[in-house]
Amino acid sequence: MGWLIPYMKEHKRLLILVVLLGGLTIFAASALLFVSGYLISKAASRPENLLMIYVPIVLVRTFGIMRSVSRYVERLVSHSFILKIVSRMRVRLYEALRPQMARFKTGDALSLFADDIEHLQDVYIKLIFPWLSALLLYVAAVVALGFFSIPFALVMALYFFIFTVLVPLVSLLVMKAKQAKQKKQRAAQYGRLTDAVMGMGDWLFSGRQQAFVDDFERAEQKWTELESAKRAFARSRDFGLQLLVGAAVVTMMSWAGGQSVNGEMAPILIAAFTLVLFPITEAFLPLSSAAQEWTGYAQSLGRLEKVEEGKTEPNIIQPVFVKGVPALSFEDVSFSYSETEPVLKHFQFSVPAGEKVAILGPSGAGKSTIMQLAEGFISPQSGTVLVNGNEPDEYISWEIAVLNQQPYLFNTTVMNNIRLGSPQATDEEVIEAAKRVHMHDYIESLPNGYGTVMQETGARFSGGERQRIALARILLQQTPIVILDEPTIGLDPVTERQLIDTVLEVLDGKTVIWITHHLAGMEKMDRIVFLDNGQIQMNGTHEELFQQEKRYRQLYELDMGVV
């Protein structure tokens, strides 16, 4: 509850004012119908003098205006409260998330900022404010009825208890499982859709675009079914509440009629007491709808608290690379997407620590699949993938950094973007990383230097400059394994060659796996592996393959423009 209670304490005066204004609004609505009922009954009795109903007429106008004014002021104050705390929450989340941004998928980060913060906003507007106002009204109404009849006040207290506590609690328990499943599916859809957009090329290359669409539609259908079940329950519950309102009205009418027959109440007050129930119960009815969303609110709170806990020192087991053990190895690995032809078939492959290996092959040959298996994003159907002798998991995967086709750069300063590689890095370490990728002089030439805002996705920088900044970020990560996923795609030949030279220069001593379609820079690699149909077709140095493999020589000459 660290994302709710502290803000309520910090702005307790505003909170009290919101609750009082909410109670005043409901009181004005109740008083309006009470006086209206009295006025109608009094007018129907044909009073001898118009002055006898003049005061009720004035009160009807007064309470009508009061209800509108108090509701307007309540909305102003409550939205002021919400804007204050939500702005603080977003800053707090950003500060907690920034040091860990490199560990989050873009879809997860968007879910935190968009979905979870919005949930916390809703928990105030839809649950906390209305429930506190309803609680205030509950007590006031029962106390007021107690002046007329304590037994009847207890009966109405039971009705109000069902409205404000029992039905909301039942709604929460019934909807809990559905809410949990729906929240999980929605978060997964965020990540699935974002990953698909970012990696559209991989889907097309692997020929699995239809499989993705089918899988996405199945997930959407499950989400829709859960939503339909929620709506069906809500309709049944709301119908039951309306029946309960009717029962409360009949109970009030019977009691008021009995009081009138006994001479303890004027007959003209029967309609007044009956009508006053409608605005009171109207204030209670939304509580059940709000309570059923608590599971979603609680999950959002849990995710935010987990992110903030990770801000300090994440509990990550750092593996020690063992001498003589391959940095990366695939042992008899087979993998296929859905029921399609296997992408990898009994695949055997290993990379010694410190070796620079290029993986070539046509689209759909399995290059991207190898990368995802190494990072632990997917698991093989058979065989084993090992990172330093260990199967990749959420800890081991942090030993692998990836420089892909379109590294994500955030709408913040150059300094902050590079520092994402190591949140604890000093300004001097960030500048040193920029120097190593030959970006320092250019950054310093900008009007704001390292304080220059890069804009979303680094739009104000060229493709080669974006890649160099992403490379500086990787240098700060200090991972022993670096995967290069088509980092030069879309660059002109001159920029491509310069970037290749820079990448291999600064990554000297690390294990480098370069996934590419192009053969530029192959002569600088320790080994070249050519994949086709899920198997290694060629394996050797550039010189060996150029001399011994006619297909490789033709591809190299074609790529290099050799006639």
Task: Kindly report, residue by residue over 288-306, the tens digit of the pLDDT.
Answer: 888 877 776 777 777 777 7
Residues in the chain: 563
Question: How many other C-beta atoms are found inside a 10 Å radius of the C-beta of residue 537?
Answer: 15
Contacting residues for 15 by C-beta, under 8 A, at least 6 apart: 8, 81, 132
Domains 5-309 and 328-560 share a fold: no
CATH number for the domain running over 328-560: 3.40.50.300
Task: Kindly report, residue by residue over 236-248, the tens digit of the pLDDT.
Answer: 988 999 999 999 9
Task: Quote the tokens at residue 527.
Answer: 């080994």
Whether 358 shows a pLDDT value over 70: the answer reads: yes
Give domain limits for the chain. Answer: 5-309, 328-560
Please work out, in degrees rounded to the nearest 5, the angle formed at the alpha carbon of residue 362 by the alpha carbons of 360 and 364. Answer: 110
Q: Taking the model in full, what pTM does it have?
A: 0.47
The answer to whether 239 touches 233, Cβ cutoff 8 Å, is no
Task: Kindly report, residue by residue over 387-397, the tens digit of the pLDDT.
Answer: 877 776 544 44
The answer to whether 141 touches 160, Cβ cutoff 8 Å, is yes
Task: Kindly report, residue by residue over 464-511, the tens digit of the pLDDT.
Answer: 888 888 888 888 887 888 888 877 776 777 877 888 888 888 888 888
Percent pLDDT > 90 in the chain is 9
Contacting residues for 338 by C-beta, under 8 A, at least 6 apart: 208, 211, 215
Highest mean pLDDT out of 65-79, 170-184, 418-432: 65-79
Buried residues in 63-100 as b, exposed as e (16+ CB within 10 A) = bbebbeebbeebeebbeebbeebbeebeebbeebbbbe
Whether 401 shows a pLDDT value over 60: the answer reads: yes
Dihedral Cα 432, 433, 434, 435, nearest 10 deg: 50
- Residue 33, classified by CB atoms within 10 Å of its CB into exposed (0-12), middle (13-18) or buried (19+), is buried
* CATH class entry, domain 5-309: mainly alpha
Task: Kindly report, residue by residue over 63-95, the tens digit of the pLDDT.
Answer: 999 999 999 999 899 888 888 887 777 777 777
